[in-house]
Amino acid sequence: MINQVSTTSFLKLLNGIFTLLDEFFNNRDNAGIIAIVEKLIKQRKDSIEQFQKAGRTDLVDQESKELGILQAYMPAQLSAAEVQSAIQKVISDLGASGPQDMGKVIGALKAQLAGKADMGMVSGLVKAALAK
């Protein structure tokens, strides 16, 4: 049975959680929020792939709808040419000369391209550019 003390304690807990969430969203930079949305998008893509393998079209449809909604909150994606240009500029700016510099290049690009390009694709392009 729920009593008055339990109810009051629970309401205070909820109030604390809502205060924390309010502070989180009001003090977060866009990169942090974009990272959260990117993670949710990745989860939806992984789920869609698994559901397709299992033949669960109903769940594929549900996840696809959620994916579309989440993608609407992301910044516009850069074209392949714009990504390639950014990669070349960072490589030049850092004086990167080989695969050993990949971490530095990716680190610089991550801050610049967060939410604007698929970092998996960027990583592949950087690896190819540094292998030349």
The pLDDT value recorded for residue 25 is: 66
Task: Say which CATH number the domain at 87 has.
Answer: 1.10.10.410
The pLDDT value recorded for residue 28 is: 56
Q: Does residue 11 share a domain with residue 67?
A: yes
Structure tokens at 56: 């669960």
Indicate the residue type of 98. G
Secondary structure (3-state) at 48: helix
DSSP assignment, residue 7?
Answer: H
Q: Does residue 42 share a domain with residue 93?
A: no
Question: 110: domain range?
Answer: 80-131
Consecutive sets of 10 residues in the chain, 132 residues long: mean pLDDT of each? 76 84 66 79 94 94 92 84 90 85 88 82 88 79
Q: What's the structural domain count of the chain?
A: 2
Q: Does residue 64 share a domain with residue 90?
A: no
Please choose, from the candidates 45, 36, 35, the residue with its C-alpha nearest in 3D space to the C-alpha of residue 113.
35
Whole-model pTM? 0.59
Q: Do 19 and 31 form a contact (C-beta atoms < 8 A)? A: no
Q: Do 109 and 90 form a contact (C-beta atoms < 8 A)? A: yes
